[in-house]
Amino acid sequence: MVNTIKGDSIIHNDVDYSGKIVTIERFILEEQRAHPTATGTLTSILYDIALAAKIIASKTTKAGLVEILGSTGRKNVQGERVQKLDEFADSVIYRLNDHTGRLAVMASEEHPDILPIPERYPVGKYVLLYDPLDGSSNIDYNVSIGTIFAIYRRKTQDGPGTLEDCLQKGDDLVAAGYIIYGSSTMFVYSTGVGVHGFTLDRSVGEFFLSHPDIRIPAKAKYYSVNQGYEHYWSEGVRRYTEWLQGKNGSGKKLSLRYIGSLVADFHRNLLAGGVFYYPADRKDPKLPHGKLRLAYEAAPLAFLAEHAGGAASDGRQRILDIQPTQLHQRTPLFIGNSDLVAKAEEFIREYDQAE
Ligand code: P6P
């Protein structure tokens, strides 16, 4: 498949989109046509997620106005306060997908166990894992937040989907993406053939192709890490950060940008070039592997990073090679420009004890 942008023409999968108003539905359908064996089921799942995104976006842009701010008073499996918008996003995504017959099982950051398809509905051949509203602690401060999703084929043959279906390596992803609810609402996804961004036009309620074939710029501009935890970092991570800052004659000239909302930090680095990292640190003995979750945060974003020409590692191995053993397991994450991710692995290899 050839994806090229020549001058002002946009050609993807040999379809020339120049000058056309390309909705997400049209683009996904064209992509489906490029896969002769495609049945359209994956296409429909992506439509359903795009619809969920429009519904969630309708609330995130008014969060300050409607009674949806603040916390439900409950705590999720991570022990974090569940914000009302979290709960709303979680139920919208589940309810738009539980009856379609396209999924065998789901799993969400907000629920301790897998989410079975109700017995009254048929099961399908795909698995959907999602973080309904990542960065939700930022909701009350009007900071960009996001939804992250990962789609696999089921591994079990039939019947209700199982935990095994949800514990798959990122290398086996068939599609992944995120929605960022910020100054504009964008839907960014990949099915393994390029990474493509769509921007929501609220006036018509449509996502339009705005960022075809996203590639991480070769020259990175930013590094993104919570410097407030510096004293908890390993020697390797500390030296890596100094290298990124241009100390000890590294010659790097990167600016620090850290929003504290994973999707927003990742999105900026994807478009501008940079590296985001949330390393293992010693600030919380209960979180020896850092704060971010593998299944529905690190792995789907790693899939996108790689298909945009970048890389993602836990500091020692490729994120997509990690075989999950628990649904909510956490992982250190270094993600962005390949050379910067490789450099992180180099410092960790040289200065940190192997676990
Ligand atoms: P810290 C938000 O709560 C989140 O899960 C991610 O979106 C974000 O990257 C990270 O936590 C920020 O964590 O410890 O830097 O506040």
Assess whether 21 and 84 both reside in one domain.
Answer: yes
Domain annotation covers residue 340: yes
Assess whether 275 and 299 both reside in one domain.
Answer: yes
The CATH number for 159's domain is 3.30.540.10
Q: Is residue 270 scored above 90 in pLDDT?
A: yes
Of 160, 184, 211, the position where a domain reaches its end is 211
What's the pLDDT tens digit per position in 276-303? 999 998 778 888 889 999 999 999 999 9
Highest mean pLDDT out of 52-66, 78-92, 322-336: 322-336
Q: Which of 230, 266, 287, 291 for mutating ligand 1's site (highest number of atoms within 8 Å of CB)?
A: 291
Q: Which of 75, 261, 275, 283 for mutating ligand 1's site (highest number of atoms within 8 Å of CB)?
A: 261
Supply the range of the domain harboring residue 157.
3-211
Domain annotation covers residue 139: yes
Domain annotation covers residue 30: yes
Identify which has the larger pLDDT, 185 or 20. Answer: 185
Record the tokens describing residue 332, joined without a space.
């250190």
Q: Is residue 60 scored above 90 in pLDDT?
A: no
Considering its fold, how many domains does the chain have in total? 2
Of 179, 211, 243, the position where a domain reaches its end is 211
Assess whether 202 and 235 both reside in one domain.
Answer: no
* Residue nearest atom 4 in ligand 1 by C-alpha distance: 135
Assess whether 61 and 187 both reside in one domain.
Answer: yes
Q: Is residue 2 scored above 50 in pLDDT?
A: no
Contact 129, 168 (CB under 8 A): no
Mean pLDDT of 241-249: 91
Assess whether 191 and 236 both reside in one domain.
Answer: no
Domain annotation covers residue 216: no
Assess whether 59 and 122 both reside in one domain.
Answer: yes
Distance CA(257)–CA(269), nearest Å, equals 9
3-state secondary structure of 246: coil
Q: Which of 80, 269, 278, 283 for mutating ligand 1's site (highest number of atoms within 8 Å of CB)?
A: 278
Assess whether 184 and 319 both reside in one domain.
Answer: no
Asked which of 70-74, 231-235, 238-242, 336-340 is least confident by mean pLDDT, the reply is 70-74
**Which residues does ligand 1 sit against, CB inside 6 Å?**
134-135, 137, 226, 260-262, 265, 278, 291
- Confidence (pLDDT) at 63: 57
Q: What DSSP designation does 314 have?
A: S
- Confidence (pLDDT) at 307: 98
Domain annotation covers residue 217: no
Q: Is residue 6 scored above 60 in pLDDT?
A: no
Strand 274-278 relative to strand 222-224: parallel, antiparallel, unpaired?
Answer: parallel
Of 211, 235, 252, the position where a domain reaches its end is 211
Record the tokens describing residue 29, joined without a space.
């359908």
Asked which of 142-151, 160-169, 211-220, 346-355 is least confident by mean pLDDT, the reply is 346-355
